Structure 1
């Protein structure tokens, strides 16, 4: 009987932990990011920093891209290269004028993103979590949109 109870507890714990597998943490406003926001859709993930001049020029383009992609199963997400958290992340995102979601937790391990020493860098990841493109340097909304269309076969 004890073994059966322990087996049930083990299965229950596994199921509970499985639900936490795709936890993306919080955004720059401290809001929890549900897995549905990133799973089963294409993702544009951009690494930026306040000290990065080209990042400052690129941010408005990414804000525009996010607006253009609404309703198309593609999300635009930022990640602070310096790993800022909490109020520092919120303040830096605001100072940069970022309107898209900034992930406080770096998803590099989850998506097996190669580490880039240059900024800005943008990754396009498909709905299965596979990196389809790594775009170095300052991007435009039109350029990223064209790359997504090319990769999706449209």
Structure 2
């Protein structure tokens, strides 16, 4: 009987230790992503015209952060849909921004040609590191992050957005 009790106690401790390890690994990415939000809000980035814009004004809103590049076909393909969604949103509660991982010249030319309806910023190659802080380990584009009004990352999307899914996720934040 003692052997069975000790065996059950040992197995129970193994499961508890394994669960604690999994829980710590599961919360680390969330904590890292939340520090990425603080890092984002602490930055100023130039817009396509070269004017520095403080991103701290995004605090308190639900924010869709779309990492993109002019040479990324799926990025460019989803931009008209994001522009249309941006027009529908309550700007006091929601914002969509595009962070360009490209040269200032390319983004400026793109912006003039296509007239995207939401704010674009130029991050250059530092945008790749910022997207990795948000969990984009592969460095793929487009990469989109949904940040809640509380400043925590609610969801991330790798690849071309499915706007119906994004709309549902935004409604959950209302």
Pairing 1:136-147 to 2, within 5 Å after superposition: 136-147=158-169
Q: What whole-Å deviation, never above 9, does each CA across 1:59-108 have from its counterpart, x for those lacking one?
A: 100101111113341111001123x22x3321133345422111224496
1:148 counterpart residue number: 170
Q: Is structure 2 residue 52 aligned with structure 1 residue 32? A: yes
When the two structures are superposed, what TM-score results if normalisation uses the length of structure 2?
0.62
Question: How many residues of Structure 1 are paired with residues of Structure 2 in the alignment?
Answer: 130
State the shift of 1:22 in Å: 2.6
- Check conservation: 2:101, 2:128, Cα contact below 8 A: no
SS in 2 for 1:147: helix
1:114 to 125, 128, 135: 135
Decide whether aligned partners of structure 1 residues 147 and 93 sit closer, same or farther in structure 2, where only a CA change above 3 A counts: same
- Check conservation: 2:145, 2:153, Cα contact below 8 A: yes
1:127 counterpart residue number: 149
> Could you tell which deviates more after superposition, 66-75 or 91-100?
91-100
Bigger radius of gyration among the two: 2
Q: Is structure 2 residue 89 aligned with structure 1 residue 56? A: no
SS in 2 for 1:28: coil
- Check conservation: 2:100, 2:107, Cα contact below 8 A: yes
Of Structure 1 and Structure 2, the greater helix share is in 2
Gaps of 5+ in 2: 1-40
Distance 1:109 1:79 in 2: 10
When the two structures are superposed, what TM-score results if normalisation uses the length of structure 1?
0.69
2:91 counterpart residue number: 71
2:119 to 69, 86, 101: 101
